[in-house]
Amino acid sequence: MKSQEPDPNYFSSSSSSSSLVSSTKWWSKETIAIVTGANKGIGFALVKRLAELGLTVILTARDVERGQRAVESLSEKGLPVNFFQLDVSDPSSIEAFVSWFKSNFAALDILVNNAGVSFNDIYKNTVEHAETVIRTNFYGAKLLTESLLPLFRRSPSKSRILNISSRLGTLSKVRNPNIKSILEDEELSEEQIERFVGLFLQSAKNGTWKSQGWPEIWTDYAVSKLALNAYTMVLAKRYEGEGISVNSYCPGFTQTSMTQGQGSHTADEAADVGARLLLLHPQQLPTAKFYIGLDPFVKSNL
């Protein structure tokens, strides 16, 4: 998958929602979007932005109370959104969510796989929670996506999946050529991605991960995002010309709980760019792209 800076022409020349709406609006209240892990951080900011822009948004959160609090705070701002509990690391929660979605909505247009965890402090690296990190950040997104795929409207102009990823998950971070080659295969398959992830989990378990050339920073998290990016590419290929666009987006170093509040920009700023990527005009909608950061976009467009 190639990383790509957004093309300035995809967007209006101003950051205000009115100009985004007037020059490129293809969506309406009938456009249905799901965002995972949306009770706080970038997910919450994305829900807010999409609701402001007039889509029907489903805010999901693994904790009902935290989720409902987030929904209430939006409602107080005049932004009503739907809510359902969803723990992406729990297959039975995914099943319950998909069943609720099916009985309440005719079809799905947009899925944002945003939910994610890291158990590392900013300058520390531990793989103690590797299984949870991989189960949430990679398998959670994958299982939810697979379960929702049949429900997409499959409109070439509308159906979109955006996986919130990280530049830590770029292939250059893998230093072992043998491991790297698994994901470099032109005919990359889901089985190969799972093999890659399995090898890492094995080395995390037997304590050999440090010497094997896995990414050096936030190793388990980086592996989960490498797998998510690879899955983005496999899925994009599977649906090329079939009406679903699939891309990844790294929001850059953002001030959220995950970074203990550190970062170069706010969640709202990251979400603004994320929403713009999500809502690209159908004629310019790419697939299999990895968008990194908001600086290039800000410089060229705002």
Q: Is 266 helix (H, G, I), strand (E, B) or coil?
A: strand
Which of 253, 266, 268, 302 binds ligand NDP (CB under 6 A)? It is 253
Least distance to ligand NDP from the beta carbon of 272, Å? 14
The answer to whether residue 221 is catalytic is: yes
From 74-82, 115-123, 193-201, 209-217, give the range in contact with ligand NDP by CB under 6 A: 115-123
Contact 130/78 with Cβ under 8 angstroms? no
Contact yes or no for 164/274 (Cβ under 8 A):
yes
In angstroms, give the least distance from the CB of 243 to ligand NDP.
25
Percentages helix, strand, coil for the chain (3-state, rounded to 5) are 50, 15, 35
Tell how strand 110-113 and strand 289-292 pair up. unpaired
Contact between 169 and ligand NDP per CB under 6 A: no
In the complex with ligand NDP, which residue's Cβ is closer, 202 or 257? 257
Element (H, E) at 99: helix 91-104
Per annotation, catalytic residue among 10, 139, 221, 231: 221
* In the complex, residue closest to ligand NDP by CB: 41
For ligand NDP, the binding residue among 222, 250, 273, 279 (CB under 6 A) is 250
Q: In whole angstroms, what separates CA 278 from the centre of its chain?
A: 11
Phi-psi region of 131 (alpha: psi -120 to 50; beta: other; left: phi over 0): alpha
Site for ligand NDP in 34-93 (CB under 6 A): 36-37, 39-43, 61-63, 66, 86-89
Among 103, 85, 190, residue whose Cα is nearest residue 151: 103
Interaction pattern, residues 280-299, with ligand NDP; x per rule: CB under 6 A: --------------------
Residues in the site for ligand NDP, rule: CB under 6 A? Answer: 36-37, 39-43, 61-63, 66, 86-89, 114-117, 136, 140, 164, 166, 250-251, 253-254, 256-259, 263, 267
